[in-house]
Structure 1
């Protein structure tokens, strides 16, 4: 007996209706306390593995550097350790009631490739508590987290604290907020090669504008989106005042003479052929706009990362962000590195140049 298309269609509709009735009846349990059937767990985990493997095909993995680790470690401490625990502190016992239970990352990280970890961190995993990265366009932050995760299995408690800061103050609100920020931005936490910026000595207007931009989403950052989510207007004002009142320190960054020469040339004179104005016509000069950041003494890796974001149109910020977007798109990669090296090696407390009408005085 041949089965026609009408019979097949009827069979499909019938199965679908049976599924709807079973689901509506409530006989399928959804309690986390009962766990999954073994076949259900096998199917879900197998589907996840296959999905991540397929999504990772063709993903280009960048070169990892030490500069990626402190920022990612700080974010892990504030946004990930609460579920997965860390080398310094186990996860809360209450999380054992989750389904699935958040895994010990030291056990599972070695089973994934870098490209697969990128897919998991950026997009999260359905039917689990694993969220997507807060800001999709910041792939650079996701790759920094992958670099940290690759290092994670080898970390002990002390090396983890050195990277993450591990500021876990339980005191009053104001102290808690400051301790959280100091976990990454305190002067003693700064590295000569890091994606974390130096805040000490920045103008309060710039710091206020930056925090407001993170809060309202005009400066996208998954790391900072988590860091500022619980800050009140008064918290932001207090933080801006605190960091602006600190004395900036020199990080002791080194660079080649060729880089420094080219960087100094662009900083003081610009590059007219590429339509790049002198950096000092806006930054680190006398009578500068208080909403412009001070660049001297910032880590070179941070400055290069910001220039790349401006060039690609992914770096937002305060009310003058469009100015830098127009400038950065005309900078070659070597020039970005040269400018970053020049400002990174410059003393943040050095005398500021004076510019008038575009000329250095």
Structure 2
């Protein structure tokens, strides 16, 4: 009986050995490919179409799976939420996602994958909340949840729903009435009395720049470019910041 089974065992062992050798060769080839630096990680060298398609599907499926578990506030599209979210959008998002009447910026042109122009695209509110809070790996989209309370993130998600319907004048008027950059997560501390700390208009946690708003342009003309390049205005002028008012749903602050 053993003698009769031996040829069958041999027929099974040989394919297994071939499969094992092939697998080891693939792993070794993958390691060699990574270590050789063959793949160009430069943002100005696009992925192959198949690679991009897989990454796009992975991103969309990941966001949808997590956003579907969120409970959207019933008053999300209240005017108070939309207006408050406008100030944070103007301060934190326009350099990548633009604003009505605003052309591409150096940042939006240089990022890959290109950030969506939110003046022309509508993003599901729950998905917008999840992305703003958690960010997206290797995309340039930061996770704002570490410094921003959920109520303020929902307000930004609400504003993003409204943004494609606004023209430049309507956008500027809404930002002007928003209360400015304020999101209660420790990065911006509101000042009801209008007094600003000595270091700027609000304190920052250790390790962050003194102020991440656009710097004041110097008398020489501000942001200069190499000779022969035309000057440009990357972003619309920011309106004066009125006194802070806590948005709907936001936790109270102790000053």
How many residues end up aligned between the 2 structures?
A: 207
Please give the TM-score of this superposition, normalised by the length of structure 2: 0.65
Q: Which residue, 137, 141, 148 being the options, matches 1:126?
A: 137
1:99 paired with 2:112, answer yes
Note the alpha carbon deviations across 1:44-96, whole angstroms, 9 max, x for none: 11111000011112210002121122332112112111122110312225632
Aligned counterparts of 2:56 and 2:210: Cα–Cα separation in 1: 31
- SS of residue matched to 1:105: coil
Aligned counterparts of 1:104 and 1:89: Cα–Cα separation in 2: 10
Aligned counterparts of 1:229 and 1:77: Cα–Cα separation in 2: 12
1:140 paired with 2:151, answer yes
1:29 paired with 2:40, answer yes
- For the 8 Å contact 1:118–1:142, the answer to whether it is kept is yes
Cα 1:113/1:5, change in 2 over 3 Å: farther
- For the 8 Å contact 2:108–2:115, the answer to whether it is kept is yes
Aligned counterparts of 1:226 and 1:61: Cα–Cα separation in 2: 33
Cα 1:107/1:12, change in 2 over 3 Å: farther
Note the residue ranges of structure 2 that are not aligned, 5 or more in a row. Answer: 1-10, 181-188, 215-241
Aligned counterparts of 2:204 and 2:110: Cα–Cα separation in 1: 33
Q: Which residue, 137, 157, 163 being the options, matches 1:152?
A: 163
Note the residue ranges of structure 1 that are not aligned, 5 or more in a row. Answer: 166-181, 186-195, 218-224, 232-247, 250-297, 319-361
1:79 paired with 2:68, answer no
| Bigger mean CA offset, 20-29 vs 6-15 | 6-15
How much is the aligned-residue C-alpha RMSD, in angstroms?
A: 3.9
- Report matched runs for 1:175-190 at 5 Å: 184=179
Other-structure match for 1:216: 205
- For the 8 Å contact 1:88–1:161, the answer to whether it is kept is no
Cα 1:61/1:9, change in 2 over 3 Å: farther
Which 4+ runs in 1 deviate beyond 6 A?
3-10
Q: CA deviation at 1:19?
A: 1.3
More helix per residue: 1
Q: CA deviation at 1:184?
A: 3.3
Q: Which residue, 55, 59, 64 being the options, matches 2:70?
A: 59
Note the alpha carbon deviations across 1:239-298, whole angstroms, 9 max, x for none: xxxxxxxxx99xxxxxxxxxxxxxxxxxxxxxxxxxxxxxxxxxxxxxxxxxxxxxxxx8
Q: CA deviation at 1:161?
A: 0.3
Q: CA deviation at 1:15?
A: 2.9
